[in-house]
Amino acid sequence: HSALTQPASVSGSPGQSITISCTGSSSDVGSYNLVSWYQHYPGKAPKLMIYDDSKRPSGVSDRFSGSKSGNTASLTISGLQAEDEADYHCCSYAHSTNLVFGGGTKLTVL
Amino acid sequence: EVQLVESGGALVQPGGSLRLTCAASGFTFISYSMNWVRQAPGKGLEWVSYISSTSDSIYYADSVKGRFTISRDNAKSSLYLQMNSLRDEDTAVYYCARDRCSSSSCYWFDFWGQGTLVTVSS
């Protein structure tokens, strides 16, 4: 089962909004409301940002939002801040392999 | 405070074995399913294995099936990963991750450890 497809990198200036895409197929992203997103600073523990496509855990800033259209899920970060600079990984349930991750996206705040 | 601390990572030769441990604290360990996830150098995350709260359900990624064994000791609040027949491509940072659900998976992880590095090389 192929990994989900994410852009290798995205960038934005403080205060702007950016969107990270996560493209799968009808076997994973498109068939289940089970996409999650994780923020990961190198050398640290990944942190859950979004689960079940668009739900935000308690304590996560409302600047982070998740959405989905067809086989593509998206993570949007509004009001970009320097502390948002990190790697972001999407993940989806996939019937054949249980769970599949994307390749990760490095967010740079200019 | 929820804490997950992995240990046991090391440099090992191809074909060798290693046992990873994840020590959990700050929550009722028996109430949660657990997972192992890894990240090879320069690559994305890869789910490795899942175990339900009472060990009734266990799943593996195809890449490790037959070589890795996940287990847990609820009395010690510990999660394990026994890795045998290690290959170069198993080189990665291994994370333990708490699943939000108990007897089945929620398919998302609300807490992770900081990982332990496994290097397979001759």
**Tokens 């409301």 belong to residue:** A33
**pLDDT tier at B101 (50, 70, 90 boundaries)?**
confident
Asked if B47's CB is within 8 angstroms of A98's CB, the reply is yes
- Determine the Cα–Cα distance for residues B63 and B105; give it in Å rounded to an integer: 20
Q: Least CA distance to B38: which residue of chain A?
A: A101
Q: What is the pLDDT of residue B104?
A: 80
If one counts every other C-beta atom within 10 angstroms of the C-beta of residue B96, the result is 30
**pLDDT tier at A1 (50, 70, 90 boundaries)?**
low
**Tokens 């074909």 belong to residue:** B15
**pLDDT tier at B35 (50, 70, 90 boundaries)?**
very high
**pLDDT tier at A2 (50, 70, 90 boundaries)?**
low
Give the closest-approach CA distance of A58 to chain B in angstroms. Answer: 11
| Beta bridge partners of residue B5, listed in sequence order | B23
Asked if A51's CB is within 8 angstroms of B47's CB, the reply is no
Q: How far apart are the first and last CA of chain B?
A: 40
Does residue B82 register a pLDDT over 60? yes
Q: Are B48 and B64 spatial neighbours (Cβ–Cβ below 8 Å)?
A: yes
A and B: number of Cβ contacts within 8 A? 68
If one counts every other C-beta atom within 10 angstroms of the C-beta of residue B112, the result is 23
Q: What is the pLDDT of residue A97?
A: 80
Give the closest-approach CA distance of B106 to chain A in angstroms. Answer: 8
Strands (E), chain B: 3-7, 11-12, 18-25, 34-39, 45-51, 58-60, 68-73, 78-83, 92-99, 109-112, 116-120
Q: Which of B61, B107, B114 sits opposite A93 (nearest CB)?
A: B107
Does residue A21 register a pLDDT over 70? yes
Q: Least CA distance to A52: which residue of chain B?
A: B108
Q: How far, in Å, are A17, A60, A67, B57 from residue A12 at the CA level?
A: 7, 20, 20, 43
Q: What's the token pair of residue A44?
A: 């640290």
For the segment B41-57, the average pLDDT, to the nearest whole number, is 94
